[in-house]
Structure 1
Amino acid sequence: MKILSRNQSGAMDSDEKLYAVTLESKNPPAAHGLDEVDLALLAELAGNARITGAALAKRVGVAESTCAKRLQLLRDRGVITGFTTQMDLAALGHPIQAVIAVRLASHNRDHVLRFHDTLTAIPGVLTVFHVAGENDYLLHVAVTSPEQLRDLVLDHINVHPGVRHTETQLVFSVMPGAGIFAGR
């Protein structure tokens, strides 16, 4: 597969335009302008983000230079937003995980935006979901003890004047789902 390039003025020459039309007619872009190569790269990375560029290129069937350029373009476009490391939280001294549902009394835009900053700054908060429905937020937290969980709720969430209600649920286990590339 050939990656299209433009000359210094940004224009494609006539041969490239013909190739672009041919490429588009044979392989129409998938969702959000991603083609099959992009989706294949993302599927491989979803399964193993530590794969080397050479191994990734080989698995997808493209040249290493093509692979590197495509990955850079995916980062530049904001499709790839980062890489994470999964850790055993219990081994790090945080054996208790919980999901805390938060309901606000008011939905004034300024209050909500300030509350976002408050939630993301709380020590022990792993993920904040701003959701629709009966609750306004779901927080996934990891703490060292039941007392620390209590203090997190009382000292960091319930003290906020906009909070009407919280409900805490202990997490017994976390299991990854199939993901968006399952069956691909």
Structure 2
Amino acid sequence: MIEIDGFDTRILAFLQDDAAVTNQQLGERIGLSASQVSRRRQRLEESGVLRRYRADIDPASVGFTVVAFVGVALDAHSRQNARRFKDLVRGLPEVQEAHVMTGDMDYLLKVVVRDLAALAGFINEELLPHDSVRNVRSSIAMETLKDDNLLPFPAAM
């Protein structure tokens, strides 16, 4: 873990809002030179604080109209079974997020697919047949009220 100061926090807040911002633009906004911003940005990237840059694509506009949250209970609670399930999930492009949970389900998956038939196929052909899985419960999102995935940094000045 690296030490994050106020300048780093402001850099992260601005990048979170617009990852295409240049070092020059960032520097102007936070009061550092472009080279200082570049060094800090590189340090944040190398340390893993900045994990990646990507485009934020509206799923529905490119045909992915169904968002579902899928709870999965494992058949057996062993390291080997958990590892097999983790390997399965990492290879499924429909899975946008996967979380280990407490309570009556072991994992919660956020899944994005084109339609209900694709969701049925995903559950019935990918998840349920896998020998690590005991059962699956899904809930379909009817409407997304918020989907920004922004960390709650103080407002960038």
- Looking at structure 2, the residues matched to 128 and 80 of structure 1 have their Cα atoms a distance apart, in angstroms, of 20
1:180 is the counterpart of 2:155 = no
- 1:19 corresponds to: none
Cα distance per residue 1:99-155 (max 9 Å; x no partner) = 111111212112111211101212422222222332111111111221111110011
The answer for unaligned runs of 5 or more in structure 1 is: 1-30
- Structure index of larger Rg: 1
User: Could you say which residue in structure 2 is the equivalent of 1:158?
Assistant: 128
Q: CA RMSD in A?
A: 1.8
The code of the aligned residue for 1:176 comes to D
**Partner residue of 1:137 out of 107, 117, 121:** 107
The answer to whether residue 75 in structure 2 is matched with residue 105 in structure 1 is yes
SS of structure 1 residue aligned to 2:110: strand
**What is the alpha-carbon distance in structure 2 between the residues aligned to residue 171 and residue 111 of structure 1?**
29
Structure 2 residue matching 1:49: 3-state secondary structure:
coil
Measure how far apart 1:89 and its partner are. Answer: 1.1
Task: Tell me the equivalent position of 2:19.
Answer: 49
> Of 63, 66, 86, which aligns to 1:96?
66
Question: Alignment partner for residue 125 of structure 1, among 69, 91, 95?
Answer: 95
2:8 — aligned with what?
38
Deviation at 1:182, TM superposition (A): 4.1
Using the TM superposition, give the Cα deviation of residue 38 of structure 1 relative to its aligned residue in structure 2, in angstroms. 1.0
Q: TM-score, normalised by structure 1?
A: 0.77
Question: CA 1:160 to 1:93, structure 2 compared with 1: closer, same or farther past 3 Å?
Answer: same
Instruction: Determine the structure 2 residue equivalent to 1:65.
Output: 35
Residues 79 and 123 (structure 1), Cα distance of their counterparts in 2 relative to 1, 3 Å cut: closer
Q: Identity, % of aligned pairs?
A: 27
Count of residue pairs brought into register by the alignment: 154
Q: Which of 83, 86, 98 lines up with 1:116 in the alignment?
A: 86
What TM-score, normalized to structure 2? 0.89
